[in-house]
A and B are shown apart, each in its own frame.
Chain A
Amino acid sequence: MSSTEIDRQWTTRLRHRVAHRLPPEKMLPDTQPAYVASWIYVFGVTTLSAFAVVVLSGFILALKGPQWWHVSGIGHFVNSLHLWSVEIFFFAMVIHLWGKYFMAAWRGGRSLTWVTGVVTFLVSIATAFTGYVSQTNFDSQWISTQAKDGINSTGAGSFFNVLNFGQMLMWHIVLLPLAAVVLTGLHVLMVRAKGVVPPFEEKEEAR
């Protein structure tokens, strides 16, 4: 095979593209710019850490099932761990969103980073909602019956039936987490490729 033919292979082209956009020193950096030394920059990684706990506790809940998380002491604990890690996840993600909004973090060719963050936020809300209706208790019955009219009024009820427990559970533990993990991965890779957005330049007269 000639070198020209090798260069035309999609694997070669993809490898060159990835190596160009995400060299190892960008992918796994050992230093960050001085402006990152601020508390406002910790909420992205706080969100990621909480997300890891959400997924891990979700795995355990899926393994053991509803009877376990409703009646056993350790089941209650893991159920609470899942709930409170979600609370921290959203708490940190909203502060991350506010911080990035006021930094205009879409500057410098970072628009797709912003967009993937926004879409991940929306997917996370849907994931949390399907989780609330999958608890298998009176709370989930109340939430689903209250939500059905709102969702049906949008037309989405034709394919997204909040009273269909099996469907909601599958959305909650398969489709939406998969989307959240993929989108979060893309979001983090984009941050690595472009770097953390720098602060606004100080105006001359303000110095």
Chain B
Amino acid sequence: MAESLLAALVSLNGPGHYFHWHWIDISYANLTVIALMVVTFVAALFVPFPGRRHKKETK
């Protein structure tokens, strides 16, 4: 069941799918990982850390 769901999401049978734009040539798999890293990086900067007191309270 889980295998068929994953298979339905992304077909891994056959050659990989590539993103082409001018000189940029990158697989969608790698592009997805890079996008996830950027999203995680931005989230790490702005998502509040649990237990951290507000700046005004620390003064």
Q: What residues make up the interface of A, taking CB atoms closer than 8 Å to B?
A: 34, 37-40, 42-43, 87, 91, 94-95, 98-99
Q: Are A95 and B49 closer than 8 Å at their CB atoms?
A: no
Can you list 16 pairs linking A and B with CB atoms under 8 Å apart? Answer: A34-B52, A37-B49, A37-B51, A38-B44, A38-B45, A38-B49, A38-B52, A39-B49, A40-B41, A40-B45, A87-B33, A91-B33, A91-B37, A91-B40, A94-B37, A95-B40
Q: Mark B36-59, 1 if CB is under 8 A from A, else 0.
A: 110011011101010110000010
Q: Are B58 and A34 closer than 8 Å at their CB atoms?
A: yes
Known A38-B44, A91-B36; further 14 A-B contacts with Cβ < 8 A? A37-B49, A37-B51, A37-B52, A38-B52, A39-B44, A39-B47, A39-B49, A40-B45, A91-B40, A94-B37, A95-B37, A95-B41, A98-B41, A99-B44
Q: What residues make up the interface of B, taking CB atoms closer than 8 Å to A?
A: 33, 36-37, 40-41, 43-45, 47, 49, 51-52, 58
- Taken together as a complex, chains A and B put the C-alpha atoms of A99 and B51 apart, in Å, by 21
- Taken together as a complex, chains A and B put the C-alpha atoms of A92 and B40 apart, in Å, by 9
Q: Are A43 and B44 closer than 8 Å at their CB atoms?
A: yes
Smallest beta-carbon distance B3→chain A, Å: 13
- Taken together as a complex, chains A and B put the C-alpha atoms of A118 and B35 apart, in Å, by 22
- Taken together as a complex, chains A and B put the C-alpha atoms of A138 and B36 apart, in Å, by 29
- Taken together as a complex, chains A and B put the C-alpha atoms of A98 and B40 apart, in Å, by 11
Q: Is the interface of B mostly helix, strand, loop or mixed?
A: helix
Chain A residues, CB < 8 A from B45: 38-40
- Taken together as a complex, chains A and B put the C-alpha atoms of A39 and B51 apart, in Å, by 12
Q: What is the chain B residue whose CB lies nearest that of A42?
A: B44
Q: What is the chain A residue whose CB lies nearest that of B47?
A: A39
Residue with the highest number of chain A CB atoms closer than 10 Å, among B41, B43, B52: B41
Which 8 pairs show the lowest CB-CB distances between chains A and B? A39-B44, A37-B52, A40-B44, A37-B49, A95-B41, A38-B49, A98-B41, A94-B37
Q: What is the chain A residue whose CB lies nearest that of B33?
A: A91
